[in-house]
Structure 1
Amino acid sequence: MAPPRAEDVLARLQSLSDDQEISILKLSEPIVVAVTQLQDPHQRTSDISTSSLDATTPSSLEADLTHYRELFAKLRFSYVEQVTKEKFIRAIVGDPPLIVTPQENADLEKENLEAKATLKALKTEVAGMVADLESKARELSRKYEKVKVEKVKLGELPGKIRDLENAVAELRATRATGSSPNPELNLPLGKTLDLVESKKRQRAELDRQLEQLQSQVPRKKKELERLQAELQPLETKRQNSMAAAKEAKRRKEAALGGVEDDLEERGRFFRASEATLQQMLDIGG
C-alpha cells in the first residue's frame, strides 16, 4: 500500500482544524445560550452581564465570574436569613410551640461543624480541580498555537519536496547520460564523502591562513604609513631634481643655439675627426 501524499495529509488536517476551531467565543456559547434562556426578559440585569452577552471576551468572562460569585454570596446570605426567620416564626407561633433543648443545640452545632469541615474539604478539592483545569487549558493553548505554526510550515513542505524531487531527477539524468562537465559529480558515495572531508580540511586551512593574514593587517598598515611618510620627501626631491634637470637642459640648448641634438652631432664630428687623424698618422708613418 502506497503511503499517503503530503498534499492529502495537509488537506485532511486543514478540514479537521476548520471543523474543530477552538476559541473563547466558541467555548462560551453554551453558557451564553443557557443564561439567555433562563433570563426573564422583564427582569432587570446588571450592566456587566448585559455587556458580556453582547461581546464575549476573556476579560468579560472573568468579570462575569466575579460578578456571579458576588451575587451568589448575597443570594446565599439572603436565603439563610429568610429560612432562619421562617423557622423561628413557625417555632414560636406553633401549637404547641417548638421547644429546643440544650442537648439538641449541641447536637446541631456538632452537625454544623462536620458539615463545615466537609464543605471546606470540597471547596479545597474544587479549587485544586480549577487550578488543574486552568493549567491544562494554558498548556493546550500553547500546543494549539504551536500546531498552527507547524501547520503553516507543513503547507510549505509539498513545494519544497517537489523542488527536491526535480533536482534529484535532474541529477540522476545527468549521471545516467554522463554529460556532467564536472567529473566530481559522478563519484560514488564513499569517494564523495572523502572529497567533502578534503574540501572541509582545505577550507579550514584557508580560514586559518586568512585569520593569520587578518592579524597582520594592523602591523602592515602601520608599516605602509611609515613608508609613505618616508617616501613623501623623496618624491618631493625627485620632482625638484627633474625640474632642475629640465631647466639645465633648456639653458644648455639655449646656449648652443637651440639645436636639440647638438651633443650627438658634436660626437659624430669628433669621431670623424679622430678617424681622419688616425688615417693621416698611418699614412705619414
Structure 2
Amino acid sequence: MAPLTPQGVLAKLRSLTASQEITILKLSEPISAAVTQLQDAHQRTSDVSTSSLDATTPSSLEGDLTHYRELFAKLRFSYVEQVSKEKFIRAIVGDPPLIVSSQENVDLEKENLEAKATLKALKTEVAEMVAELEEKAKDLSRRYEKVQVETIKLEELPGKIGELGNAVAKLQKNQAAGSNPNPELNLPLARTLDLVESKKKRKSELDRQLEQLQGQVPRKKKELDRLHAELHPLETKRQNSAAAAKEARRRKEAALGGVEDDLEERGRWFRAAEAGLKGVLEIRG
C-alpha cells in the first residue's frame, strides 16, 4: 500500500469529520421526534413547549429530563391509585365478593418486600450504570474536543511542511554553493547534537570560571589600589632621577665643550646613570 501524502491525510480527516459530526442537536433528534409524535397523537401539550426543542443545549436537556421524571412519578402514582381503586370496587361488587384471608395478606406483604428489594437493587444498578455512562460521555467529549484541536493542527501541518521544505532546499543550495565557510554547520545531526552538548559544557565551565573571577574582583581591586599607592612615590623618584640625570648630562656636555668630546667617557657615564635608575626603580634585566 502506497504511503499517503499530507494532502491525502488531510482529505481523509476532513471526510471523517464531515461524516461523523457529533453534536447535542444530533443526539437529541430521536428524542425530539418521539416527543413530537406523542404530542400529535394525544393532541395535548405539557409544560415543556416544542420551542425548547428548537434550541437544545445541555442545560435544557437536563431540565427536560428532570421535568419528565416528575411527570412519570405523578403518572405512576395515578396509575397505581386507579388500579387499586378498580380492584377494590370489583372485589366488593363481585358475585361472590372476593374475601382475602390474613395469610394471603402476609404472603402478599412478603412478595412486596421481595419485589421492593429487587427493585431497589435494580435501581442501584441502573444508577451505577448511568453514572458510568455519564463518565464515559464526559471522557468521550474531552477526547472529541482533543481530536478537533489535533485536526486543526494537522490541517496546518502541510503549510509548515512546505515552509520547512523550502528552508531545507535553500540550505542545501547554500551548502552546495560553498557560501558557508564554517565546517561545523555542515555536520550531520548526531555530530551536531554532540557539538551542541560540548558547547553547552564549555559554556557552563566558562560561566563557573567567570563567577569565580567575579568573586576575586574586589580583592584584586584592593591590591591594585595598594600597588598604585606604592607606585606613586616611585614614579616621583623616577621623574626626579630623570630630571637630575638630564641636568647632569647637560652639565657634563657643557664641561666637555660639546657632544663630540670623549664618547667613551660619556658612554660609561650613561651606563652608570642607567644602572642607578634601574636600582631606584627596582627594574631587573
User: TM-score normalized by structure 2?
Assistant: 0.68
The equivalent of 2:148 in structure 1 is 148
Q: Structure 1 residues 135, 215: CA separation in 2 closer, same or farther (over 3 Å shift)?
A: farther
Q: Distance in 2 between matches of 1:73 and 1:117?
A: 19
Is 1:158 paired with 2:145? no
The equivalent of 2:107 in structure 1 is 107
1:59-86 alpha-carbon deviations (Å, 9 max, x no partner): 1111111111111111111111100110
Q: Distance in 2 between matches of 1:80 and 1:35?
A: 24
Between the aligned residues of both structures, percent identity stands at 75
The equivalent of 1:38 in structure 2 is 38
- For the 8 Å contact 1:49–1:64, the answer to whether it is kept is no
The equivalent of 2:78 in structure 1 is 78
Deviates more, 1:36-45 or 1:99-108: 36-45
Q: Structure 1 residues 14, 212: CA separation in 2 closer, same or farther (over 3 Å shift)?
A: farther
Say how many residue pairs are matched. 223
1:42-53 maps to which residues of 2 (within 5 A)? Answer: 42-46=43-47, 48-53=48-53
Q: Structure 1 residues 214, 114: CA separation in 2 closer, same or farther (over 3 Å shift)?
A: farther
Q: Distance in 2 between matches of 1:174 and 1:76?
A: 83
Q: Distance in 1 between matches of 2:214 and 2:110?
A: 89
1:154-212 alpha-carbon deviations (Å, 9 max, x no partner): 12222222222233333334444544332333345665455333422333244445656
The equivalent of 2:133 in structure 1 is 133
Does the residue aligned with 1:66 lie in a helix, a strand or coil? Answer: helix
Q: Structure 1 residues 19, 216: CA separation in 2 closer, same or farther (over 3 Å shift)?
A: farther
Give 1:32 deviation, angstroms: 0.7
Aligned partner letter, 2:44: Q
Q: Structure 1 residues 208, 67: CA separation in 2 closer, same or farther (over 3 Å shift)?
A: same
Is 1:204 paired with 2:204? yes
Q: Distance in 2 between matches of 1:159 and 1:75?
A: 61
Q: Distance in 2 between matches of 1:18 and 1:111?
A: 55
Superposed CA RMSD in Å reads 3.0
Q: Distance in 1 between matches of 2:82 and 2:23?
A: 42
Q: Structure 1 residues 169, 31: CA separation in 2 closer, same or farther (over 3 Å shift)?
A: same
Q: Distance in 2 between matches of 1:82 and 1:214?
A: 97
Deviating 4+ runs (over 6 angstroms): 213-217
The equivalent of 1:12 in structure 2 is 12
* Structure 2, gaps ≥5 residues long: 226-285
Give 1:24 deviation, angstroms: 1.3
Give 1:103 deviation, angstroms: 1.8
User: TM-score normalized by structure 1?
Assistant: 0.68
Give 1:130 deviation, angstroms: 0.2
- For the 8 Å contact 2:92–2:98, the answer to whether it is kept is yes
Deviates more, 1:56-65 or 1:159-168: 159-168
Q: Distance in 2 between matches of 1:156 and 1:58?
A: 31
Higher relative contact order (CA 8 A, sep 6+): 2
Q: Structure 1 residues 9, 110: CA separation in 2 closer, same or farther (over 3 Å shift)?
A: same
